[in-house]
C-alpha cells in the first residue's frame, strides 16, 4: 500500500501484481496497472505512480493515461532501492540506493536529474511540504538536508548514535524531525541544523528503540512504532512555533497500542474450596470409624 503526501490518492498491490489506484474517499479504483515484476517500493502522487524493483529498475506511470498505457519511462540503476518518495506537488521524486547515492528525479517525466553523494548509506528520505528541501537519514545516524533548487547540501549533523528510522518535516517546513533505533526523537532547525529538542523515554529500555515513525500534520503528533511492538502517539504541542515547549522526555502520551498478536489465555487449574475439602475429609473419617452400640 502507498498513500500520496497530500492524502488524496492511495494504491494497493495484490498477489497478481495488479496495482489498484483510488481517489479518496472513493471505494472503486479509477485506474489499475499490472506490473511485470514484484516491486520492492512504491510511491504515488495524484499524477504519478513510481515503482522500484529489487534489481534497481524504476518505472514511472502517468495516472491520467488510459489503463493499458505503458510507463512513461523505465530506468535501470542496477542497485536495490532502499527508499522512494515524491514531493507533495508531484514535481520531484527522490530515491536512495546502497552505493552511497541519492537520486533526484523529475516525477512527471521520469528523467533522472542528479545523483547526490552522501557520506553514508541513506535509509530514509522526506521532502518538505513546499518541496524546497530534502532530508536524508543515514545508516550511521547522520542527518543531511539538501536544497532542491540549488541541488546542494545545506547542512549535515551527527544526529543519532544508531540508524535513523524516519525523517519528516513539520507543516511550515521550519523544523525537521528525526527518529532512531537509539530511542530518541530529535527536532532540528531546518535552515541551519541547530538542535532544538530531544525527546526520549526516561526508561532507556531496549524496547523503546523506534523502528518507524510518522508525523501527523493534522494534529501535530508523532506516531512511533517501537521495538516492543507498541505504537505510541506523543504530542508536539500544536504548532511549529510551540514545538520547543514539549518536555525533554516522552512522558506525555496520547495513546499506546499493543501491536503484538494476542496471547492465548493460560488455563488456571481450579482451586478446591477449603471448607468443602475439609468437610469431605470429615465425612471420610467418620465413615471409617467402627460402629458402636
User: What mean pLDDT is predicted for residues 187-215?
Assistant: 80
Query: Scanning the structure block, which residue is given the C-alpha cell 521532502?
Result: 127
SS3 90: coil
Residue 265's pLDDT band, with cuts at 50, 70 and 90, is: very low
* Cα–Cα distance for residue pair 62/107, rounded to 1 Å: 10
Q: What is the pLDDT of residue 285?
A: 52
Query: Scanning the structure block, which residue is given the C-alpha cell 489503463?
Result: 67
Q: What is the pLDDT of residue 220?
A: 74
Burial of 75 (0-12, 13-18, 19+ CB in 10 A): middle
Does residue 217 have a cis bond before it (omega within 30 degrees)? Answer: no
Tens digit of pLDDT for each residue in 143-186? 999 998 888 899 999 999 999 999 999 888 889 999 999 888 89
Q: What are the helix (H) ranges across the chain? A: 274-288
- What the block records as the C-alpha cell of 276 is 468443602
pTM here is 0.76
Query: What is the DSSP-derived secondary structure letter of residue 69?
Result: P
Query: What is the DSSP-derived secondary structure letter of residue 207?
Result: G
- Higher pLDDT, residue 216 or 84: 84
Amino acid at each position: 500500500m502507498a498513500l500520496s503526501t497530500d492524502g488524496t490518492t492511495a494504491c494497493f498491490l495484490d498477489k497478481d501484481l495488479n496495482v489498484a489506484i483510488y481517489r479518496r474517499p472513493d471505494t472503486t479504483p479509477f485506474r489499475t496497472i499490472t506490473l511485470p515484476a514484484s516491486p520492492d517500493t512504491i510511491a504515488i502522487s495524484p499524477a504519478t505512480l513510481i515503482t522500484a524493483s529489487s534489481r534497481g529498475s524504476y518505472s514511472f506511470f502517468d495516472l491520467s493515461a488510459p489503463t493499458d498505457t505503458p510507463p512513461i519511462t523505465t530506468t535501470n540503476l542496477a542497485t536495490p532501492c532502499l527508499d522512494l518518495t515524491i514531493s507533495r506537488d508531484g514535481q520531484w521524486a527522490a530515491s536512495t540506493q546502497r552505493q552511497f547515492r541519492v537520486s533526484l528525479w523529475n516525477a512527471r517525466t521520469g528523467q533522472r536529474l542528479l545523483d547526490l553523494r552522501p557520506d553514508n548509506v541513506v535509509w530514509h528520505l522526506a521532502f518538505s511540504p513546499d518541496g524546497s528541501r530534502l532530508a536524508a537519514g543515514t545508516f550511521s545516524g547522520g542527518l543531511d538536508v539538501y536544497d532542491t533548487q540549488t541541488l546542494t547540501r545545506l547542512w549535515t549533523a551527527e544526529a543519532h548514535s544508531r540508524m535513523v528510522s524516519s525523517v519528516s518535516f513539520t507543516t511550515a517546513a521550519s523544523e525537521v524531525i528525526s527518529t532512531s533505533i537509539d530511542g530518541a526523537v530529535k527536532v532540528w532547525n531546518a535552515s541551519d541544523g541547530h538542535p532544538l529538542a530531544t525527546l526520549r523515554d526516561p526508561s532507556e529500555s531496549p524496547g523503546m528503540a523506534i523502528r518507524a515513525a510518522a508525523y501527523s500534520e493534522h494534529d501535530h503528533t508523532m506516531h512511533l512504532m517501537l521495538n516492543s511492538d507498541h505504537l505510541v502517539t506523543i504530542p508536539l504541542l500544536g504548532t511549529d512555533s510551540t514545538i520547543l515547549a514539549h518536555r525533554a522526555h516522552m512522558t506525555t502520551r496520547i495513546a499506546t497500542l499493543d501491536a503484538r498478536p494476542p496471547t492465548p489465555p493460560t488455563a488456571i487449574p481450579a482451586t478446591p474450596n477449603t471448607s468443602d475439602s475439609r468437610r469431605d475429609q470429615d465425612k471420610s473419617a467418620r465413615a471409617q470409624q467402627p460402629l458402636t452400640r
